[in-house]
């Protein structure tokens, strides 16, 4: 029987892009110490090989608030890990956690453990197209209006930022990717684009093409894909590189 004095803790953990060897030592330690691990079905599957006695609770897309509130409740008297893919602060659950803490004046004991983002891995798989200023944009319009996303793409492109695109396509959003490509073509028809699918996982694939040819790969792209759109200075010779400006 648990002591009434027992105090819990909540970890919000980024588990990285998928390869368990890229999980930080601190994240691994917290997962092993946890009594409960809560996350999306896909992320729970990615940590299956980790030895832990924790009870794993998985829920599908759209259950983020439910998962977070469950983590709060369990963390009153237990050590709980709420996991996100990549980094929890980049399209992860940390923002929601902070919002709920502020809304409910929650005094829960929590700690954030960052993780490696998918765009970081995608970048080095392609060479180094992200070596200077860049923008990160998600094409998912579940929480952000599509017109706002399109506006952000236009500003990023017109500002000559290298752009990393998350959540580019799903079964219900193929047309959004087509619209985004049309916006990119307006400004950067000949720029180089890298496409990385399933970064760090056994079925990883990547493609490098010109922006004008992106339409050919629409069927290849899914939610596990990152697009990195080069800027006016990005070059390709077996690898993509956006020079930082060193005098070589």
3-state secondary structure string across 76-88:
CCCEEEEEECECC
The model's confidence at residue 2, banded by pLDDT at 50, 70 and 90, is: very low
Residue ranges covered by each domain of the chain = 9-116, 119-241
Q: Which two tokens stand for residue 118?
A: 């998918």
What's residue 183's pLDDT?
Answer: 95
Enumerate long-range contacts of 42-49, CB under 8 Å, 24 or more apart. Answer: 42/85, 43/15, 43/83, 43/84, 43/85, 44/83, 46/15, 46/18, 46/20, 46/85, 47/15, 47/20, 47/23, 47/83, 49/20
Q: What is the mean pLDDT of residues 153-167?
A: 97
Q: Which fold has domain 9-116?
A: Cobalt-precorrin-4 Transmethylase; domain 1 (3.40.1010)
What's residue 5's pLDDT?
Answer: 57
Q: Which two tokens stand for residue 201?
A: 């996982």
CATH superfamily of 119-241: Tetrapyrrole methylase, C-terminal domain (3.30.950.10)
Q: Which two tokens stand for residue 216?
A: 């050919």
CA nearest 52: which of 39, 68, 67, 35? Answer: 35
The model's confidence at residue 155, banded by pLDDT at 50, 70 and 90, is: very high
Please state, rounded to an integer, the average pLDDT across all residues of the chain.
93
- Residues 121, 199 contacting (CB under 8 angstroms): yes
Q: What is the pLDDT of residues 183-204, one digit of tens each?
A: 999 999 999 999 999 999 889 9
The lowest-confidence range among 2-6, 20-24, 55-59, 74-78 is: 2-6
Q: pTM of the entire structure?
A: 0.90
Q: What is the pLDDT of residues 225-239, one digit of tens each?
A: 999 999 999 999 999
Name the DSSP class of 142. S
pLDDT at 3 over 60: no
């Amino acid at each position: 029987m648990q002591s009434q004095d027992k105090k819990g803790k909540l970890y919000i953990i980024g588990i990285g892009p998928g390869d368990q060897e890229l999980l930080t030592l601190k994240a691994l330690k917290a997962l092993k110490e946890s009594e409960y691990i809560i996350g999306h079905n896909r992320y729970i599957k990615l940590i299956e090989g980790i030895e832990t006695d924790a009870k794993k609770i998985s829920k599908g897309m759209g259950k983020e608030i439910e998962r977070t509130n469950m983590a709060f409740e369990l963390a009153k008297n237990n050590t709980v890990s709420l996991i996100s893919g990549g980094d929890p602060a980049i399209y992860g659950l940390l923002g929601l956690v902070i919002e709920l803490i502020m809304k409910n004046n929650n005094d829960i004991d929590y700690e954030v453990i960052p993780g490696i983002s998918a765009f970081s891995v995608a970048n080095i798989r392609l060479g180094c197209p992200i070596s200077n200023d860049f923008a990160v944009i998600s094409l998912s319009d579940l929480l952000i209006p599509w017109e706002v996303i399109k506006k952000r793409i236009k500003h990023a492109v017109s500002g000559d930022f290298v752009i990393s695109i998350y959540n580019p396509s799903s079964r219900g959003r193929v047309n959004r990717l087509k619209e985004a490509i049309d916006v990119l073509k307006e400004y950067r028809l000949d720029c180089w684009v890298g496409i990385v699918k399933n970064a760090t996982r056994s079925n990883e694939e990547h493609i490098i093409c010109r922006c004008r040819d992106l339409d050919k790969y629409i069927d290849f792209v899914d939610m596990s894909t990152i697009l990195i759109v080069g800027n006016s200075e990005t070059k390709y010779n077996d690898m993509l590189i956006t020079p930082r400006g060193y005098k070589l």
